[in-house]
Amino acid sequence: MAENKYYYLSDPLYETVKDSQVINWIQLLEEKNKRIDLILVSPVRYLVQNRKLRKEKIKDSKRKIKGKLFEVPIFKAQDKTGVSELIKIFFFVVIMLPCYLQGKRIIVHTRNYTHFGSLKVLKYLFKIKILFDLRGASAEEFLYEKGYNDINIVQYENTKKRYLSILNKQISMVKISSNIFCVSNKLKDYINIKTDCKFNQKLVVVPGAADNDTFFFNAQLRQNIREKENIREKYVVCYTGKLDRPWHMGDFLFNTISQILDKYKDTFFLCITPDKETAEKYINRYSINETRISCKFIKYDFINSYLNAADCGLVMREDVPTNNVASPTKIAEYLLTGLPLLMSDKIGDYSDYVKTHSLGKVIENDVIVAVNMLGVLKTMQIDRKQTAQFCSKTYSKQVNIHKMLGIYDSI
């Protein structure tokens, strides 16, 4: 039987989520003797505008993973001329040809439907096997950014065409892939609806899980950070993640926080985000007392310490299709530290999970309701360590990696 050669194909590592959902997964797979080479497809604009960040990310990635790292420069991620697709095909062939000539079976794992064209060519040339990491409903995400929740109410033909183009490309990736990892059961249902269940047997649910070795509860760690930040006597509400996209609901989030801080004088808000300028705008808009809030960017490897220091994790999302099928990694990270949640309803599989196991309060997106429910959360007695251990049985990568390994070994 031919030896397998694994590649992970990704866009640039500029977002924190890539640390969790690309690099960390590769690390864990390598611990299970799956040596994986990482191929980064980087648009010229990113290479020019993010030279320092790129250098840091690549250096950090090489330190963490054992496989080789290749970078493929292209003009645009969405290049209508087709030139970038040809560039990708050329570089992919150069990278993979030696392994093909050695008789190895090539397996490409990717989270990007935008590589459909080049992967289809490689599938024809090298008979590669494709594993598609389906992170969300990209067509619905596009629609949401345009201000719509339903394609049936869109009047502009260009918007309709773009929506259908994205949907068709994503479904085409599903079609040519040997297996598809869906981040939620809701996303699996969505794909089945869009494809009349034609590919149901290829769909495997692997949530946006967190690493149990990185995210856990430790009482001493909690105490250390609370002393460092001078919040020992505070009830700390925490938000981690970006604020620059519509589904982050930044305005609603900070409006809610401002009223929480007004009502509960012992409460402190900890905001961990790379979008500090955006956060400052909201802080100023709602006149939040800067002595009641700490807004900072913390490298991914150190976020666990601050989640330990917090008393409540905050996640707000609108009730729209892109969120209904999502699996925000931050929620798994909250849960693996035993952090009680104040969160919106209908966020992927998480909202039902939190309600079923009484892991916090799941609410409609109403400021007054959120403020009052925070008061209820403040009275709840929760064993953080026990909660963390319970949640790790569902949302740790250590549990879910066995599903992925089963596919890696059987493909």
Label residue 183 by pLDDT band (50, 70, 90): very high
In-domain check, residue 214: no
Q: Would you say 299 and 268 are in contact if contact means Cβ atoms under 8 Å apart?
A: no
Counting Cα atoms < 13 Å in the Cβ hemisphere of 318 gives: 18
289 lies in the same domain as 303: yes
* Sign, CA torsion 223/227/233/239: negative
Residues 194 and 334 in one domain: no
Token pair for 274 = 């790379």
pLDDT per position as a tens digit, 220-260: 999 999 999 999 999 999 999 999 888 889 999 999 999 99
Residues 246 and 309 in one domain: yes
**What is the per-residue pLDDT across 139-175, written as a single tens digit (0 to 9) for each?**
999 999 999 989 999 999 999 999 999 999 999 999 9
List pLDDT tens digits, range 335-367: 999 999 999 999 999 999 999 999 999 999 999
> Is 177 within 8 Å of 130 (Cβ atoms)?
yes
Reference 194, options 158, 176, 170; nearest CA is 170
Question: Mind listing the pLDDT tens digit for each residue in 366-382?
Answer: 999 999 999 999 999 89
pLDDT band at 79 (very low <50, low <70, confident <90, very high): confident
Cβ-Cβ contacts under 8 Å for 216 (sequence gap 6 or more)? 304, 336, 337, 388, 392
- Specify if 382 maps to a domain: yes
Give the pLDDT score at 190: 97
Please report the pLDDT score of residue 80 as a whole number: 87
Average pLDDT in the 282-304 region?
Answer: 94
Asked if 207 and 400 touch (Cβ cutoff 8 Å), the reply is yes
Say if CB 22 and CB 13 are below 8 A apart: yes
Identify the DSSP state of 380: -
For residue range 294-305, what is the model confidence (pLDDT) as tens digits? 999 998 889 999
Identity (one letter) of the amino acid at 309? A
Mean residue pLDDT across the chain: 94
Q: Give the separation between CA 409 and CA 411, rounded to whole angstroms.
A: 6
Residue at 149 is within a domain? yes
**Same domain (yes/no): 264, 316:** yes
pLDDT-derived band at 204 (thresholds 50, 70, 90) equals: very high
Q: In 3-state terms, what secondary structure has residue 163?
A: helix
For residue 148, is it within any domain?
yes
Please tell me whether residues 402 and 363 are part of one structural domain.
no
Whether residues 251 and 170 share a domain: the answer is no
188 and 263 in a common domain: no
* Mean pLDDT to the nearest integer, 170-193: 97
The owner of tokens 């892109």 is 322
Residue 186 lies in a domain: yes
SS3 label, residue 210: strand
Helices in 1-137 by DSSP H: which ranges? 16-18, 24-31, 44-49, 51-64, 83-101, 116-126
**Paired tokens of 332:** 């798994």
Claim to verify: residue 154 and residue 295 sit in the same structural domain? no
Within a domain: 14? yes
Q: What is the mean pLDDT of residues 81-97?
A: 96
For residue 77, the model assigns a pLDDT of 86
Q: Report, as an integer, the average pLDDT of 115-123.
A: 96
Q: Is residue 8 in some structural domain?
A: yes
Whether 63 is in a domain gets the answer yes
Domain of 8?
A: 4-209+397-410
- Do 250 and 387 have their domain in common? yes
Q: Could you tell me if 391 and 402 lie in one domain?
A: no
Do 237 and 372 sit in the same domain of this protein? yes
**242 and 339 belong to one structural domain:** yes
pLDDT digits (tens, 9 = 90+) for 8-24: 999 988 767 777 889 99
Number of domains in the chain: 2
The whole-angstrom separation of Cα 89 and Cα 367 is 50
Residue 72: is its pLDDT beyond 90? yes
Q: For the beta carbon of residue 69, count every other beta carbon within 10 angstroms.
A: 14
Give me 302's structure tokens. Answer: 């150190």
Q: Give the CATH number, domain containing residue 52.
A: 3.40.50.2000
Q: Radius of gyration over alpha carbons of the chain, in Å?
A: 22
